[in-house]
Structure 1
Amino acid sequence: MTAIEGFHVGFAPSPALGNASTFIRRRDFLLLRLKGEDGTVGWGEVFNSPFAAAGFVRSRLAPLVLGQPAAEMGRLYQAMLGTLGYDRRGAAMMAVSAVDMALHDLAARARGISVARMLGGALRDRMLAYASGPFIAEGGAPYGAYPAQIEALLGRGFRAIKPRVGFAPRLDGAVMRAARRQVGDDVALMVDVNQGYSVGAAIESARHMEEADLLWIEEPLGPEDIGGYRAVAASARCAIAGGEALASLAAFRDFLEARTFSVLQPDLTVCGGFSGLRRVAALADAYDLPVMPHVFGTCVNAHAALQMGALLTARRGGGPAAYPFVEVDATANPLLSLGGAIAPRTDGTLAVPDAPGIGLELDPTRLEPWLSEHWALDAG
């Protein structure tokens, strides 16, 4: 690679996006662009700790990868892991994730093939898309707009929908029972609690939502409460999902050994990019667990997740199709559609691009309306 660039981009959602833990009033991301000697580029993303990760890229990772061939991404991944020190589950790992993602994009583009093809070949050319939303509203009616918003998502072609819940267990049950009556039996419903409940409240919420016939309840507790997740999983009648906040392979091992999750959702931007997620997926295969990438960021991670999802083992988990599904941010996110609209087809699926790299053509000038900082380092 001859250069690495960082683009800090972000926007303020309006209205704020509410979940059981917070109201998101600002969404910031780091996009990395690696450049090869022939001018080919590759993109990576950090969605959780973009400013801290940028510092780690600039100080520790850039000297490792600049001047090196992207095709040796396996060796470079091991070298990057060697820089982590104590920070194996935080911003440093997110920095590694973004660089690894960009290395894979660049290496595949240089060969003129997709990442999925480079990594052995796609197992599928489409995946069922599930809408990430609606979100909790501020004020006295946290779920008041859900019926209209769910109807709008159905109108957009989604056959699987994941609302946020976690305001109160009884209200969770009421809103999801109403959602099931609204969508009928052929649309998949799941919920995301965004780490917002204690163990007792999570168990109570799951009990109130049983009649909604949910595919899964996602992140009902804080991300490292293994004992709590074990208790909720033993009590709930539907699957418990999680893993987006886990970064190290050891963290996934600990949760899987405890039999906490029935659906695993690692995020490419958190757990080590393509290299890291492939390790997690291999571990999950040993437990016969379905894996599907968590996605809630820009078009970069969205396109990368489609490539990764195409490589994952198919498993039946209920709903209108076999897992893996692919998550789609259903909010007004201007950074999601920079490479073209990401919308389900008439059958509710998204196509997996077979274009070079992650299948995204992104002109950096399109980032300018949301750009707060740009930096660049070269091999010289």
Structure 2
Amino acid sequence: MKVAAINGYHCGFAPSPALGNASTFIRRRDFLLLELVAEDGTRGWGEVFSSPFAAAGFIRAKLAPLVLGQPARDMARLYGAMMTTLAYDRRGAAMMAVSAIDMALHDLAAREQNISVAQMLGGASRTRMLAYASGPFITEGSEPYGAYPAQIDALLRRNFRAIKPRAGVSPRQDGAMAGALRRQVGEDVALMVDINQGYTVGPALASIRAMEEADLLWVEEPLQPEDTGGYQTVAAAAHCAIAGGEALGSLAAYRDMLQARAFGVLQPDLTVCGGFTGLRRVAALADAYDVPAMPHVFGTAVNFHAAMQMATLLTARRGGGALPYPFIECDVTPNPLLTLCGPLELAADGTMGLPEGPGIGLELAPEQLAPWMTEHWHLSQS
């Protein structure tokens, strides 16, 4: 089954209220959903969530000619060919473009065989995973954490047994927030926090010390993503795991951070590090360092379903929670592009099951994107 056409759908929306973290308030979320169409009309989907417009330009100019007319099953060969097009931009938008096409090729190739991506890549090691809530988020105003208690109660009612709020307002306020949440949820719910690259080393250490009594599973991205020395310092001093990796694109970047023992939990994102091919390489590297890996996912239904497929293949490791890693991250903000095919529902034990069906398990038609689409482009063989 050869790739006959490539469609790019630029979609986005304005969150209300804006989603606050330690670095910014997100007032607009834009994505590129990439559709590879086979000769028989079968579709495979990929996604770019971080730099959708730049990645789209790279796909149209550099990658499409390599993929059009080629068999979807040749994922490894096509990945190698795409990687030869990268020059200085080996950790940015060009790598995100490769990631989206690799994701879509895997989806398409598995659909050709009428099996899931997990089956195609060797078979799932698990069919259910603990889902963790990615939120609540900081709000604007005099009480940045003021909405957390009510939002946490709502998440508990949805059966979440692991919750990751945003932190990074100040070390003192972080400590008060984390302590209050631990008292609210009790001892049986896992808590982690995400600082979204908001601190330098000193404030990061002060914040982590202030939150220690909350018994956190991990503190995520307290520093800029490639501050290797800073992460070494923080990881050595912290009493909980330091998590990160979502913003790293190249295998070399992961090697450097793992050699430095900077992360206790590794979080590669399929849309950033090379799709299924890239993340499998990162996961193998993490295994060599005995570091648990799990997908970072904060985008649309495409990346979420792909991350579920990938997570079923990863090595199980105990991390201190009720169930072994990997967990699956769930964006709990109002995100219409995540719930295109229905809401995310958890079982009473806080787990989610692997989506059924071929490919990534997502049956998506372009018409469903219409309310949020801002641009569409089409490429085919001339």
Length-normalised TM-score, structure 2: 0.99
- Matched with 2:239 is 237
Tell me the equivalent position of 1:361.
363
Q: Report the counterpart of residue 327 of structure 1 in structure 2.
A: 329
Secondary structure, counterpart of 1:2 in structure 2: strand
Q: Partner of 2:232: helix, strand, or coil? A: helix
1:354 CA drift (Å): 3.5
Corresponding residue number in structure 2 for 1:258: 260
2:78 counterpart of 1:76: yes
Q: CA deviation at 1:345?
A: 1.6
**Paired AA for residue 68 in structure 1:** Q
Pick from 27, 35, 40: which aligns with 2:42? 40
Match of 1:142 among 141, 144, 166: 144
Q: How far apart in 2 are the matches of 1:22 and 1:116?
A: 36
Give the AA of the match of 1:317: G
Q: Does 1:187 align with 2:189?
A: yes
Task: State the distance in 2 between where 1:332 and 1:343 align.
Answer: 14
Q: Which residue of the partner structure matches residue 298 of structure 1?
A: 300
State the alpha-carbon separation in 1 of the partners of residues 35 and 379 from structure 2.
Answer: 11
- The DSSP-based 3-state class of the residue aligned with 2:154 is helix
Write out aligned runs for 1:148-163 (5 A): 148-163=150-165
Map 1:267-306; keep pairs closer than 5 Å: 267-306=269-308
1:168 aligned residue: 170
In 1, distance between residues paired with 2:281 and 2:345?
A: 29
AA aligned opposite 2:122: G
Structure 2 residue runs of 5 or longer lacking an equivalent are none
CA deviation map 1:62-81 (0-9, x unaligned): 00000000000000000000
Residue among 341, 362, 365 paired with 1:339: 341
- Aligned amino acid, residue 132 of structure 2: Y
Q: Deviations over 1:93-140 (max 9, x none)?
A: 000000000000000001000000000000000110000000001010
Q: How many residues align?
A: 380
Which residue in the other structure is 1:378 paired with? 380
The structural deviation recorded for 1:154 is 0.4
Aligned equivalents of 2:145, 2:343: Cα separation in 1: 27
In structure 2, distance between residues paired with 1:64 and 1:369:
31
CA deviations over 1:308-330 (Å, ceiling 9, x no partner): 00000000001111000000000
How far apart are residue 306 of structure 1 and its match?
0.2
> Of 53, 56, 59, which residue of structure 1 is paired with 2:58?
56
CA contact (8 A) 1:114 1:357 kept: yes
Report the residue type matching 1:212 in the other structure.
Answer: A
Q: Is the 8 A contact 1:4 1:35 kept in 2?
A: yes
1:281 Cα shift? 0.1
Distance in 1 (CA, whole Å) between partners of 2:200 and 2:90 is 26
C-alpha distance in 2, partners of 1:259/1:133? 27
TM-score, structure 1 normalization: 0.99
**In 2, Cα distance between equivalents of 1:285 and 1:267:** 17
State the Cα distance separating 1:339 from its structure 2 match.
Answer: 1.9
C-alpha distance in 2 between matches for 1:18 and 1:143: 10
Q: Contact conserved, 1:306 with 1:352, CA < 8 A, in 2?
A: yes
**One-letter code aligned to 1:266:** P
Structure 2 counterpart of 1:365, one-letter code: E
CA distance in 2, matches of 1:177, 1:220: 18
Q: Decide which of 205, 220, 223 is 1:203's aligned counterpart.
A: 205
Alignment partners' CA distance in 2, 1:277 and 1:339: 25
Contact map agreement 1:73 1:100 (CA 8 A) in 2: yes
Q: What is the DSSP-based 3-state SS (H/G/I as helix, E as strand, rest coil) of the residue aligned with 2:99?
A: helix
Which residue, out of 217, 220, 232, partners 1:218? 220
After TM superposition, the runs of 4+ consecutive aligned structure 1 residues lying more than 6 A away are none
CA distance in 2, matches of 1:181, 1:192: 19
Query: What letter corresponds to residue 259 of structure 1 in structure 2?
Result: R
**Cα RMSD for the two superposed structures:** 0.5
CA distance in 2, matches of 1:46, 1:53: 7
Residue 110 (str. 1) matches residue 109 (str. 2): no
Is the Cα contact below 8 Å between 1:113 and 1:354 reproduced in 2? no
Distance 1:353 1:147 in 2: 31
**1:2 matches 2:4:** yes
Which digits, 9 at most, give the CA deviation of each residue in 1:118-170, with x for residues without a partner? Answer: 00000000110000000001010000111111011001110000000000001
Match of 2:32 in 1: 30
> CA offset at residue 253 of structure 1?
0.2
Residue 210 of structure 2 aligns to which amino acid in structure 1?
H
1:314 aligned onto 2:326: no
Task: Output the CA distance in 1 between the equivalents of 2:116 and 2:128.
Answer: 14
